[in-house]
Chain A
């Protein structure tokens, strides 16, 4: 029991040190812009289809599930507002972050772990390239940039799915649907959700990198690393979301 607790604190401490190192080093050259762009492309481009599909289905399912209840209250006209707020505030960011924790987080974890195991990270260091800057800072920054972008994409695609259901089932035109959504949404919905997406992206990146960068159990450790990265990143997404909601509460009085 004490050992478990100790390990938990140990991991937390190491992640904290890792995070601190990121923030210490991110400001100073050399900046690996080329690699950053490459990672952004990988993370954004390769996750777009997955995030889009999930978002689309989430929009459809959410609309289908809430329709009967709203109709019971005679409030179908509130559908765009309800689904819009649910997706933009909560579902879009969290679902996207979880998907990316699974795809991007595990990918980074596995990639760095295998690089670590095959001494590629050492090789980089020997080649005069700071592997932390080249691998960690670029990837974490890339997730931090790309997750919010993916969240926005996912929001839009989710709303498209929802609008499609409303169009087919309720005869609501796309124009009407989106103008209603825009009527009800304001910046106090969008901005906190974008801000928390940055944190989600940072958490996913930093956990993937930490797990990969500190992996040391040979080839079999690579799989374990990927797995742990996903678990911790997903957990962190929820914890961050909880804190984000509390903080948003203060600033915007939901």
Chain B
């Protein structure tokens, strides 16, 4: 592990993360290491703090205690400007796609490019949009409004918007929620494809077993606010702990 860290700094390194809302702790003493290029699927019950975890990683939520290092930078100590720069390297796929309703698909995809032009210097916006859309196979939808898209298409467009910045780390929040199993599987495969294409590390938050199996090199069960179990899908599936077992039945 140590040798690997020297070679490639971990994409995400979390130690003893504590986060509470009011007097109600959601995450207590959570720890996780995500190596560069690694795919980690995080499973947990509703309200277990999965979404909070990745929002802490991207800086949408502030942590109360613990260490949180993303792409070599300690998130809690970042200035807004530095946080913006960090976010240019981190993609975030929201649960409900979060496409901007008032904008067309093209404008949605162009939106992240507005602020991160120094990173994308020398690249034409149109080319980037085309490239991202073809990655998700929806080039024909470029001038549609989000309201004209189906749920699966929205997820793909959201994915395209996430990868347009060529992130080094992609965070997925329930990428398959609200989709039928077939479409969900397509999305899961797409995630894996993209991960290979862009060589990005990724954390996939899900409660969908199929998605977790397809996308995750590693599987983490989040329970009681901490990293309950971590291992490959097959390793975790073999554990007989009642909490872990409840996910597989």
Contact = CB atoms under 8 A, between A and B. Distances in A.
Interface of A: 30, 111, 114-115, 118-120, 122-129
B99 A120 contact: yes
A152 to B, nearest CB: 28
B111 A119 contact: no
A51 B98 CA distance: 33
B87 A119 contact: no
Interface in B82-140: 84, 87-88, 90, 92, 94-102, 111-112, 114-116
Given A118-B98, A120-B101, A128 B60 contact: no
B12 interface: no
Main secondary structure of the interface of A (DSSP, over half): helix
Contact of A129 (B92, B95, B115): B115
Nearest to A122: B60
Given A119-B95, A122-B55, A122-B94, 12 more contacts: A30-B115, A114-B101, A115-B100, A118-B97, A120-B99, A120-B100, A122-B92, A126-B58, A127-B111, A128-B87, A129-B114, A129-B115
A119 B116 contact: no
Interface bin, chain B: 20 to 34
A118 B96 contact: yes
B94 A127 contact: no
6 contacts: A30-B115, A118-B96, A122-B98, A123-B98, A126-B60, A128-B116
Contact of A128 (B96, B98, B112): B112
Interface of B: 55, 58, 60, 84, 87-88, 90, 92, 94-102, 111-112, 114-116, 161
Contacts of A129: 111-112, 114-115
A56 to B, nearest CB: 31
A114 B97 CA distance: 13
With a 10 A CB-CB cut-off, give which of B95, B99, B114 has the most chain A CB atoms: B114
Contacts of B84: 128
A39 B109 CA distance: 21
With a 10 A CB-CB cut-off, give which of A30, A111, A120 has the most chain B CB atoms: A120
A126 B87 contact: yes
Contacts of A30: 115
Given A114-B101, A126-B87, A119 B94 contact: yes
A123 B92 contact: yes
A128 B94 contact: no
Contacts of B111: 124, 127, 129
A115 B99 CA distance: 9
Nearest to B85: A128
Given A122-B55, A122-B94, A127 B112 contact: yes
Nearest to B86: A128
Contacts of A119: 94-96, 98
